[in-house]
Amino acid sequence: MEIKTIKIGDVEIKQTAALAPMASVADRAYRLVCKEHGAAYMVSEMISAKGLCYSDRKTEELCTVDDRERPYALQIFGEEPDFCARAAAMLMKYKPDILDINMGCPVPKIAGNGSGSALMKDIDRAYAITKAVVAASNVPVTVKFRSGWDENSINAPEFAKAMEAAGAMGLTVHGRTKTQMYHGKADRDIIRQVKAAVKIPVIGNGDIDCAESAADMYRRTGCDLVMVGRGSYGNPWIFSRIESYFENGIIPPEPTLEERLEAMYHQTELAVSFKGEHTAMAEARRECAFYLKGIKGAASYRSRCGSLASLADLKALIEEIRKAEGIC
């Protein structure tokens, strides 16, 4: 079956699966590896509107757009329309394909300051932010949000209509409330309701961890694209498996141990090239543990990941695993 495409504004995206923005996880190295395995669309880690306006060095580092990642969105968060508009205008020099606004992050340091999912309690402010960002941008603007603040305030369809009215050209809905964080199950019916409520593309997000669950999201919600988050941890193959399933109904075999080891090293090597060995290896300790989950002796190897300090350390660990598994 031929895979179709969707358009957000004039940006064309293959209708397979996108990679979700995940702060402190989906960095450039992570995204590039997922892209190599078929991710159709990328979104940056969250960029603070105020941090960007105040020229915070770490914030500016998140703005890099690598042409290999396109189509690619930069994502901002903030609670003040003026700051968000200023940040949007500043981001245009990095030439993103799309600008996304985070109105779904549930973590206390974001939502507790009035940003992220806190905006679902203030639709008027969310509308003002979106309208201001649209006016300041020369690329399509999208909004990512949740089903609501809590189970007593499920308002995603109403929220979606307001964002569309403010000029958003696409929406991403995570089917959990803020108070659920990442617990329980994502509500796919609320995504279906959002899709029915608006005329712009809707991306469904939540609990996509295999090709079958991606297909189920499309079928049950009618969404235009699906977005994979935690299902990609140590598993960039999820994107190629989804694409193959949609294209010919065949799900490729799970990656071999050697393929996992090679991808783990490749991602870490990329991270070192972008961030330097000291910073990259500190972050790689968690990423490598994802790749080793479920293998024989995983607990011991994953514990060893906690002390990785160099690419040489990682090479030594990989060779130890290969030797233990009889891989030449």
Residue corresponding to tokens 């409330």: 177
Name the token pair of 259: 């393929």
| Euclidean distance between CA atoms 273 and 287, whole angstroms | 16
| Euclidean distance between CA atoms 98 and 88, whole angstroms | 11
| Euclidean distance between CA atoms 31 and 47, whole angstroms | 16
Identify the CA nearest to 228 among candidates 67, 80, 30, 70.
30
Residues ≥6 apart with Cβ < 8 Å to 278: none
Name the token pair of 186: 């994502």
The answer to whether residues 270 and 68 touch, using CB atoms and an 8 Å cutoff, is: no
Q: Report which DSSP code applies to 254.
A: P
Name the token pair of 237: 């193959």
Instruction: Give the 3-state secondary structure percentages of the chain, helix then strand then coil, rounded to 5.
Output: 50, 15, 35
Grouping H, G, I as helix, E, B as strand and the rest as coil, residue 312 is helix
Residues ≥6 apart with Cβ < 8 Å to 131: 81, 166, 167
Select which of 34, 105, 223, 305 is catalytic. Answer: 105
| Euclidean distance between CA atoms 46 and 44, whole angstroms | 6
Q: Is 63 a catalytic residue?
A: no
For residue 224, report the phi and psi dihedrals to the nearest 5 degrees.
-90, -20
Instruction: Return the active site residues.
Output: 105
